[in-house]
Amino acid sequence: MIHDNGVTIAQIRVPPDTNEITQVKALLDPVTAREGERVVVTMDAAHTQRDTATYLAATRGFDYIMNTKGNQPTLLLAVSKKAVSLIMDTPGHIVRERAHGRINQWETWITTADGIDFPHAQQIGCIRRQVFGLDQVRISREYAWILTSAPPSNMTATDLHERVRAHWGIENKSHYVRDTTWREDAHHINIGNAPQVMGGVRRVPRSGVAACSPRWRAR
C-alpha cells in the first residue's frame, strides 16, 4: 500500500504450504521506482528477516524500515540496548496531538547502527508513544525499536516518525474497511479462486486496483 494515498498497488495469494514471510520477493518484484525517487518499504516485525533486508537493500536498491520485537530476541536486545541511552537525551522529533478525549505524544530518536549485526542497517531508531488524559495523567507508554537501511541524509528523526505512523494507515484505510464495512471475516467464501476474486472486488471501490487476496496484509 502506498502510504500517502492509501492505495493498494499489489497483493498476492500466500500458498497454503508457507507463510507471508516467504512472499516478499514475489510481492515486490513488479514494484518499480519512478526516476529520481527512492522507495522506502515499511513492514511488520514478522518481516524483520536477514534475507528480506538483503533483497530490499542489495537486490532492489530500496530502503527498509523494520521493527524489532520478540520474534528476533537477540536483535531486539542489541537494538534496544544501543538505543536506550538515546532516551536520556532530547528527542530529535516530538509530536503532540489531542484527539478522542486524550493526548498522544510521540518522541523519536535516531542514531547510527554501528555494532548492530544486520544486513545493510545504517541507523536505529526509538519511538516512544505516550498517552495522557486531559488531566495530563499518563495512561500508557510504549516503545518501538527500529532498524533502517536509510542513511542520515535520507532519514531523519522526523522522517522516521512520519513513515512509521503512515505505515499503520493500512489499518484504517484498508483493514478497517474490509473488516467492518465489508465484514470480510464473517464471510465463508473459501473454495478455489473465489477468495481471490472477492478480494479483488472489495479493492476496486477503494483504489480502482483489483487485488489478489482477501487477507494478505501488505505493508
Assess whether 67 and 156 both reside in one domain: yes
Assess whether 144 and 53 both reside in one domain: yes
Cα–Cα nearest to 146, from 47, 216, 56, 51: 47
What is the overall mean pLDDT for the chain?
85
Whole-prediction pTM: 0.81
Which of 144, 167, 190 finishes a domain? 167
C-beta of residue 7 within 8 angstroms of C-beta of residue 203: no
Assess whether 127 and 209 both reside in one domain: no
Domain count, the chain: 2
- Going along the chain, which residue ranges are E strands? 40-42, 63-68, 93-99, 102-112, 123-133, 138-148
Which of 167, 189, 208 finishes a domain? 167
Assess whether 146 and 163 both reside in one domain: yes
C-beta of residue 102 within 8 angstroms of C-beta of residue 131: yes
Residue 16 falls within a domain, yes or no?
no
pLDDT tens for 122-163 read 999 999 999 999 999 999 999 999 999 999 999 999 999 999
Assess whether 188 and 133 both reside in one domain: no
pLDDT attached to residue 160: 97
- Lowest-confidence segment of 34-43, 97-106, 107-116 by average pLDDT: 34-43
Residue 65 falls within a domain, yes or no?
yes
Phi, psi of 124 (to 5 degrees): -120, 155
Q: What is the span of the domain harbouring residue 156? A: 22-167
